[in-house]
């Protein structure tokens, strides 16, 4: 890269460009005024160290992809001739390099189309809602990172606009874009970040975020300054249009079983109750899909006790009958704890005592009963599933989290995956993964 003489915030920006691949880091540093004079140098450093996320954010902050260092090399040259000290464990290095090269070959922030000032109506057939989901394993191997994207295209006061949201690992994207195009394809051009925007919402007015194209029966996504977090940035089938209620009820054809994975309002309500069993006890994120592992045994014991304490206190919780109650004033039959774990996780529980030093609810197992102390004081969090999609045998549920005393203001969001499960002769689900984000 160029001659870096940065100090303080400038040095923080350069280090973020080189090494920090978490979404929103470079964007946050730039928005705070760090390293504004060196963002072109930071872009070259990000390209050299194959930091796709930093390249995205620096281009969105108007870094000049054509600017050259003292040796006459621009960011594209550095992307094609990367620093040999970049992260050796970088996932999909070839795809990452290809995505960076593609972004820079498009001109980055140097030659982006200006937004049209005149209001234009929506091209035919494009108004509606679109969604897409991606995920990948965290580098630590201890969790799975997920991202959930939504696009709503609508015409207001004669102007076609798109609202883009993205929620997931280190991202809370909220963008308003202008829509231009025809019946075959539309371009989404960045206008501004919305008031509740978080990481991933930066951009330059008029920059092409992405292009949606209809080709026969396929809907293709062509990435611009907005690119995937986990998948490669090649054009392909990503976003799908959500079926409108009018289309669902207006057709005389008999729908296929759970047509395209659609669920009824009653299904979503049942799912909300299912997910609330985990949010109300503050259960931590986990992922048992792919190479992921089950929650640790102390976490499952905690769930079994807290679930019954919250929902079945009168029938399953008793006061300790021992003198002094050394291990807590309350007791619960271990069979109820194991039953809840089987019902909601489809896992067999290994009973044992849990010490306070393990970071979970301290409890004592005497061979038949769990002894513990009451744990009140925190407001329970309730879940509301707003979308559910069937992906093979797995159902992905997404929605918002509310405190029980304020059902109108969401305090977080979640993504849950679950598998079909039979319990006492009734169809339900067993959870496979849980990912929550605070707001």
Helices (H), 153-286: 245-250, 265-279
Phi and psi at residue 337, in whole multiples of 5°? -65, -50
pLDDT of residue 109: 41
Low-confidence residues of the chain, pLDDT below 70?
1-10, 21-37, 84-93, 106-119, 141-143, 243-262, 291, 375-380
Question: What is the 3 state secondary structure string of 80-104?
Answer: HCCCCCCCCCCCCHHHHHHHHHHHH
pLDDT of residue 22: 67
pLDDT of residue 110: 38
pTM of the model: 0.46
Q: What is the token pair recorded at 346?
A: 């489809």
Query: Which residues, other chains included, contact 396 with Cβ-Cβ below 8 Å and sequence gap of 6+?
Result: 133, 388, 389, 390, 415, 416, 417
pLDDT of residue 347: 94
Question: Would the CA dihedral through 394, 400, 403, 406 be positive or negative?
Answer: negative
d(CA 57, CA 9): 16
Q: What is the token pair recorded at 309?
A: 């304490």
CB atoms within 10 A of CB 37: 9
d(CA 99, CA 7): 30
pLDDT in tens, 57-87: 888 777 888 888 878 888 888 888 887 655 5
- 381: closest CA among 417, 345, 406? 406
pLDDT in tens, 200-249: 788 888 899 999 999 877 889 999 989 888 877 788 888 988 765 444 44
Going edge to edge, which strands form the sheet with 240-241? 236-237, 218-223, 208-215, 185-193, 171-181, 159-168, 144-156, 128-137, 240-241
């Amino acid at each position: 890269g160029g001659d870096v003489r940065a100090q303080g915030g400038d040095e923080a920006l350069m280090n973020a460009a080189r090494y920090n691949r978490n979404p929103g880091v470079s964007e946050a540093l730039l928005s705070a005024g760090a390293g504004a004079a060196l963002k072109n140098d930071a872009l070259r450093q990000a390209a050299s160290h194959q930091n796709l996320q930093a390249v995205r954010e620096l281009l969105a902050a108007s870094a000049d992809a054509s600017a050259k260092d003292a040796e006459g090399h621009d960011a594209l040259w550095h992307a094609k001739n990367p620093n040999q000290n970049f992260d050796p464990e970088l996932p999909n290095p070839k795809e990452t390099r290809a995505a960076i090269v593609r972004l820079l070959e498009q001109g980055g922030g140097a030659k982006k189309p200006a937004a049209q000032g005149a209001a234009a109506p929506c091209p035919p057939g494009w108004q509606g809602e679109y969604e897409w989901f991606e995920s990948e394993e965290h580098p630590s191997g201890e969790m799975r990172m997920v991202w959930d994207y939504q696009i709503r295209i609508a015409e207001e006061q004669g102007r076609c606009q798109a609202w883009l949201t993205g929620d997931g690992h280190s991202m809370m994207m909220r963008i308003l874009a202008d829509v231009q195009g025809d019946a075959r394809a539309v371009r989404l051009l960045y206008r501004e970040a919305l008031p509740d925007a978080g990481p991933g919402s930066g951009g330059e007015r008029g920059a092409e975020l992405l292009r949606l194209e209809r080709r026969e029966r396929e809907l293709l996504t062509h990435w611009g300054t907005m690119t995937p977090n986990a998948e490669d940035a090649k054009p392909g089938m990503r976003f799908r249009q959500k079926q409108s209620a009018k289309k669902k009820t207006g057709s005389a054809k008999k729908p296929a079983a759970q047509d395209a994975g659609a669920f009824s309002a009653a299904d979503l309500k049942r799912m909300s109750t299912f997910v609330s069993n985990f949010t109300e006890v503050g259960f931590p994120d986990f992922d048992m899909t792919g190479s992921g592992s089950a929650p640790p045994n102390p976490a499952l014991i905690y769930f079994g006790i807290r679930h019954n304490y919250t929902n079945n206190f009168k029938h399953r919780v008793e006061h300790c009958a021992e003198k002094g109650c050394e291990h807590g004033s309350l007791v619960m039959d271990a069979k109820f704890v194991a039953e809840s774990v089987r019902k909601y996780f489809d896992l067999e529980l290994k009973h044992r005592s849990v010490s306070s030093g393990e970071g979970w609810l301290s409890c004592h197992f005497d061979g038949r009963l769990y002894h513990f102390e009451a744990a009140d004081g925190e407001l329970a969090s309730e879940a509301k599933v707003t979308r559910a999609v069937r992906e093979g045998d797995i159902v992905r549920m997404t929605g918002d989290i509310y405190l029980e005393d304020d059902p109108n203001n969401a305090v977080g969001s979640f993504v849950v995956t679950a598998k079909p499960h039979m319990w006492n002769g009734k169809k339900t689900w067993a959870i496979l993964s849980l990912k929550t984000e605070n707001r």
